[in-house]
Structure 1
Amino acid sequence: MATSKLRGNDLRKLGYPAGRATTLALDILTDRQFSKLDKGSALALLQKIKDDPYAYLRDSLWRELAREFVPDPSRSVGLNPQVKDYRRYGDAFIEDGARRQMDLAMQLPVTLDGALMPDAHQGYGLPIGGVLAVDNAVIPYGVGMDIGCRMALSVFDLPPHYLAQRTQELKKILHAHTRFGGKEVFKNPTDDPILAQPEFREIAVVRGRREAAINQLGSSGSGNHFVEWGIVDITAEDPALNLPPGQYLGLLSHSGSRGLGAAIAQHYTKIAMSKCPLPPETRYLAWLDLDTQEGQEYWRAMSLAGDYAAACHRDIHRRLSLALGEKPRARVENHHNFAWRETLADGREAIVHRKGATPAGQGVLGIIPGSMTAPGFIVRGRGERDSIQSAAHGAGRRMSRTQAKQQVSEGELRRLLRDQGVELIGGGIDEAPMAYKDIHQVMAHQQELVEVLGSFTPRIVRMDAGGGGGKSRYGGE
C-alpha cells in the first residue's frame, strides 16, 4: 500500500518530532482502512492533525496523536476574565454562534474595542460581520481567507431600457469576458503592474503563488462571487459620486484575492497558532505581534493580496466596459476581509480588523449587496464611533449551505428568478436568495451607520457554474 512507503524522514519534513508522535502516525497508517490512501494524501492528513490538533481530539483513531500537538497549557496565552463592552447592531437579528465568537474576541488581551454588524453570522475565529480593534497585532483569521475581498460598481450613462432591449447581448458579453472558479482562466491574462511588486520575490509563500496569480488575474472565485448587470437608481447626490438622481445601467462585481489570499491566510495562521497558543475555543484568534518579523511579513503579504484583488476587479470592469463600448461615468468600490491602521475615537492607535464588514468612515462611499433577486445599496458612511466606523457588507446568511440544499428546490429557485426577472448564469442552490437575511432589515438596523444614496437591482447574474464551496455569497469568510 502507498502509505507503507512513508518514513520518519517524511514526517520530520512536516515538523513531526522524532519519537512518540512519529511512531503513532506510522502505526495508525498501517491500518487496513488506509490501504488505498496515496502518500501525498497521507502526508496532507498528518499536516492537518499537526496544524489543528483540537479538531481531532474527539476522533478515537487520531486523538492520541492529536494530543502530541496540543500546546502545553502552561504556554497558553490566557484570556481576560471579562468580556469588554461592544456594540451589536440588530442584536435580535444575530445568531448565538456569532455572538459567542465575538464575546471571545473581546476577551483577548490585545483587544481594544469591537463591534458586530447586523449581517453577522458564525465563521472561523472572528465572526463574519465582526469588527475588532487590537493593539499592535494582526490576527490572520481576523482578516479571513479571502483577503481584500471587495465590491466594485461601474455606472454607465445608459438608460434602464437598454438592459431590457439587449438582454441576450449582455449575457453573451458577461459569459465571454468573465472567468470563475479554480479552472477557468483567460488564455492571455493581463500584465498588471501588481505582478512586479517586490513581495512576489521577497516573501516565500507569495513567491510560490506568483504563477497562479498571473493566470487568475481578472477572474472571480467560486461560492458567493459574482459579476452582474443591473439597474442603478440614484436617489441622493454626492460630490464624490457626481451622478444626478436617475436610473442607469450598472455593472457590479464581488470577488477577492483568489488562491493568493488563501495561501497567505493559511500559512500565517499556522505561524500565529504556534507562536501564540490560545485556549481551544479561541485558537483561530491567534495573533502576530507587529514588532516581529512574522507580523511585518504578514502585513506586507496581506497588503499585496488586497492590491491584487483590486487589480482583478480593475481587469473585470475594463474587459466588460470595452465589450460594451462605453466608459463608466462613475465607480464605487470598497473592500472587507482586511486590517487597517486607524486611530480610535479616544485617540488610541489600533489595528482594525473588518471581517465581512464595510468601512463606513465619514463620507466614505460603499456598496452593500442584497441577493441575486434583492437590491444592494450605494451608501455613504456616517463615521459612527460605536461601530468603529463600520457597516454590514451584505445581507448575511440565515441558512448554512447544507440547510439551503436541503430546504430549497431547483424549481423553487427557478420560479423566484423568473418572477423577479433575473437571468442566472451558473450559481447553485446554496446561493439561493432564501438562504440570506432580508437586506431591508439589515439596512434598517444600521441607519445610524450609513446614509443611502441609491440602489443596484440585479438583472443578469453570473457565478461559478459549479455552485457550492467557498464563502457565502453575501456574507462569508
Structure 2
Amino acid sequence: MATTKLTGKELKQIGYPEGRAIGEAQKAMEAGYKGKSKKFKLELLEKVVQNPALYLKHDQLGSIAKCLIIKEEAETVEQLNTKRIPYNTYGAEGIEPGAVNQMEIAMKLPVTHSGALMADAHQGYGLPIGGVLATKNAVIPYGVGVDIGCRMCMTLYDMPAVFEYESLSYYKKLLNDNSKFGNAVFKRPKGHDVLDRAEFGEINILKSLKDRAYAQIGTSGGGNHFVEFGVAEIVDAENEYGLPRGKYLAVLSHSGSRGLGANIARHYTKLAMDKCRLPAEAKHLAWLDLDTEDGQEYWLAMNLAGDYASACHHQIHERMAISLGEQPLAMIENHHNFAWKEQDAEGNEIIVHRKGATPAGKGVMGIIPGSMTSPGFIVRGKGEHAAINSASHGAGRVMSRRKAKEMITRDEVKSHLEHAGVHVIGSGVDEAPMVYKDIHQVMAAQQDLVEVVGTFTPKVVRMCGDERFAKVDS
C-alpha cells in the first residue's frame, strides 16, 4: 500500500522553506489528516503556504502558518534610506574613516532622527565609539554597546594632594585592598538595593544573572577600566559643589555593568538582529521598537544595568572613603554607553544613544578623562542641540589593541610612565598612554559643547591586565 506521508522534498516543491515549517506541516498532516490522500494534503498545504495569515487561528494548521509568517518576517530585509540625514562632526581631522563610514550608515536607518560624531570617535561595532544617534521610538542594543551604563565617577577630598615616594605604597595598598578587576571579586560582596529590584524576577534573561551580579558588585571590568588616585584642581569658583578654587585629593573610577550588562547586550542584540533584518553593512544597528514587548523588556533591563553600574562605582568610592577615614566633599559622575528618552528642539520625544559619549545638556556635569599620563576634565554641559546635548567620553584611541601589542614595548611604556611621574598597578601595552589621542586637541574641538570646571591629573593608577607593571612600580 502506497504511503501518504509527505516528504520534505515534496513540501519544498510546493513552496515550503527549509526549516521548522516543514516539520510542523508533516506533523499536522499525520495528526489531523492521516486518512487523506497525498494529493489532498499537498493541495491543502499549498493553500497555507500561499496565504498563511488566513490559517493562523486554525486548530490543525495554525502552527504551520505561524512558522511561515515568522520565516517571512525574518527574511524581510529592512532597506536603508538612499540619502543620509545630515549630522555634525567635531574634531573631524582626528577621526578615522571607519568611524565616519559607520556614522554615515547609521544616519540612513529608517528610524534615525538625528546624530552627531564626537571628537574622540573611532570605529566600533554598529555605531562608532563616540557616536550619538537619536531615533524615533526605537532602541538599538549595539547603539548602547556591550558594556551598558559604563560610567565615570569621581570623589574629591579635603586632603593634601601630595604623592611623594613615602605615600605611594599607601595609595597602592588602598587600591589593591578596595578594587577588584576582571574575574576577581570580593570574598564578602556588599549588598545593595539594586539587587532587590523586581526586574530580576520578572524578566527571564535576568533571572539567571542575579547571582553573578551579586558576586561582581563593587568590582571593575578589564580593558580601559580603572580606579586611580590623582589631583583634582577646581578652576571655576562658581561650581555646583560650592568648592573653592584649588587642589584636592581625588579618586576617579571608570567601569560598567560587568557580566550583567554584557549578557543583556548579547541577548537583546541577537533578538534585534533576528527580528530586524538589515543589509550586511548595517546589521549591528538592528533595533527594537519600543511599542513591542521585546523593546520594553530591553529598556527595563538596560536601565537596571545602568543602575547596577552606578552601584558598583558607589561601592568602590565608599570602600575608599572608609579606608581614607574621610567623607568626600563632592561626587561627580555620568554614564556613557546608554540610551535616554529626551526631547528634540520641537519638544518631540527621541531616544538618544550615546555610545562612548558624555551627556552635556545645559548645566549637566560630567567627567572626560584623558589617559594615564594626560589630564581629565570636570565639565559642565552647554546644551548644544547640534551635538544632541553630548560631548566626547574621553580622548579616544588612535591605535587598536592588536596594533598596540605589535608596535609598543613594555620598556617604552615604563619610560613614558616614569617621565610623567605616574605609577601603575596592572595594565598592559594595549592601554599604553600612546594609544590615545591628544586630549587637549579633543577638548579644543568641543569648546561649544562643554565648559571646564576643573581638571584631574592621574598619579597612582590601577587597571586589569599585565601585573608585571605592578612589579615595575612597587
> Shorter chain as normaliser: what TM range?
0.7 to 0.9
**What do residues 357-380 of structure 1 show as CA deviations (whole Å, max 9, x unaligned)?**
000011111110000011000111
Tell me what 2:255 maps to. 255
Contact 2:75/2:277 (8 A) holds in 1:
no
Count of residues in Structure 1 that have an aligned counterpart in Structure 2: 405
Q: Distance in 2 between matches of 1:299 and 1:151?
A: 21
**What do residues 324-362 of structure 1 show as CA deviations (whole Å, max 9, x unaligned)?**
111100111011000000001132210000000000011
Tell me what 1:76 maps to. 77
Tell me what 1:302 maps to. 302
**What do residues 46-104 of structure 1 show as CA deviations (whole Å, max 9, x unaligned)?**
xxxxxxxxxxxxxxxxxxxxxxxx99896100111001100000111111000000000
Contact 1:119/1:392 (8 A) holds in 2:
yes
Tell me what 2:87 maps to. 86
Paired residues for 1:50-69 under 5 Å? none
Tell me what 2:100 maps to. 99
Q: Distance in 2 between matches of 1:99 and 1:357?
A: 15
**What do residues 391-449 of structure 1 show as CA deviations (whole Å, max 9, x unaligned)?**
00000000001111111111000001111111100000000011110101100100000
- Say whether residues 1:134 and 2:135 are aligned partners: yes
Contact 1:71/1:277 (8 A) holds in 2:
no
Tell me what 1:471 maps to. none
Tell me what 1:399 maps to. 399
1:207, distance to aligned residue in structure 2 (A): 1.2
Tell me what 1:233 maps to. 233
Contact 1:119/1:442 (8 A) holds in 2:
yes
Identify if the C-alpha distance between structure 1 residues 294 and 72 changes in structure 2 by more than 3 Å, giving closer, same or farther: closer
Q: Answer with 311-320 or 155-164: which moved more.
A: 155-164
Give secondary structure in 2 for the equivalent of 1:160. Answer: coil
Give secondary structure in 2 for the equivalent of 1:352. Answer: strand
Contact 1:242/1:330 (8 A) holds in 2:
no
**What do residues 258-282 of structure 1 show as CA deviations (whole Å, max 9, x unaligned)?**
0000000000011101111000110
Tell me what 1:384 maps to. 384
Paired residues for 1:274-293 under 5 Å? 274-293=274-293
1:159, distance to aligned residue in structure 2 (A): 1.9
Tell me what 1:171 maps to. 172
Tell me what 1:207 maps to. 207
Amino acid in structure 2 at the alignment position of 1:190? K
Amino acid in structure 1 at the alignment position of 2:266? Q
1:177, distance to aligned residue in structure 2 (A): 1.1
Tell me what 2:117 maps to. 116
**What do residues 279-298 of structure 1 show as CA deviations (whole Å, max 9, x unaligned)?**
01100000000000000000
Contact 1:278/1:286 (8 A) holds in 2:
yes
Identify if the C-alpha distance between structure 1 residues 170 and 283 changes in structure 2 by more than 3 Å, giving closer, same or farther: same
Q: Distance in 1 between matches of 2:73 and 2:135?
A: 25
Identify if the C-alpha distance between structure 1 residues 21 and 319 changes in structure 2 by more than 3 Å, giving closer, same or farther: farther
- Say whether residues 1:428 and 2:428 are aligned partners: yes
Contact 1:373/1:422 (8 A) holds in 2:
yes
**What do residues 150-185 of structure 1 show as CA deviations (whole Å, max 9, x unaligned)?**
000000011222666522111111111110002x10
Tell me what 2:325 maps to. 325
Q: Distance in 2 between matches of 1:338 and 1:175?
A: 29
Amino acid in structure 2 at the alignment position of 1:259? G
The gaps in structure 2 that reach 5 residues or longer are 1-16, 24-70, 468-474
- Write out the 4+ residue segments of structure 1 that deviate beyond 6 Å after TM superposition: 19-22, 70-74
Amino acid in structure 1 at the alignment position of 2:83? Q
The gaps in structure 1 that reach 5 residues or longer are 1-15, 23-69, 468-477
Tell me what 1:60 maps to. none
1:18, distance to aligned residue in structure 2 (A): 5.2
- What is the TM-score normalised by the length of structure 2? 0.83
Amino acid in structure 2 at the alignment position of 1:324? L
Q: Distance in 2 between matches of 1:361 and 1:322?
A: 33
Contact 1:226/1:462 (8 A) holds in 2:
yes
Give secondary structure in 1 for the equivalent of 2:406. Answer: helix
Q: Distance in 2 between matches of 1:230 and 1:289?
A: 43
Give secondary structure in 2 for the equivalent of 1:459. Answer: strand
Contact 2:343/2:350 (8 A) holds in 1:
yes
Contact 1:121/1:396 (8 A) holds in 2:
yes
Give secondary structure in 2 for the equivalent of 1:403. Answer: helix
Q: Distance in 2 between matches of 1:316 and 1:454?
A: 22
- What is the TM-score normalised by the length of structure 1? 0.82
| Identical residues among aligned pairs (%) | 57
Highest Rg: 1 or 2? 2
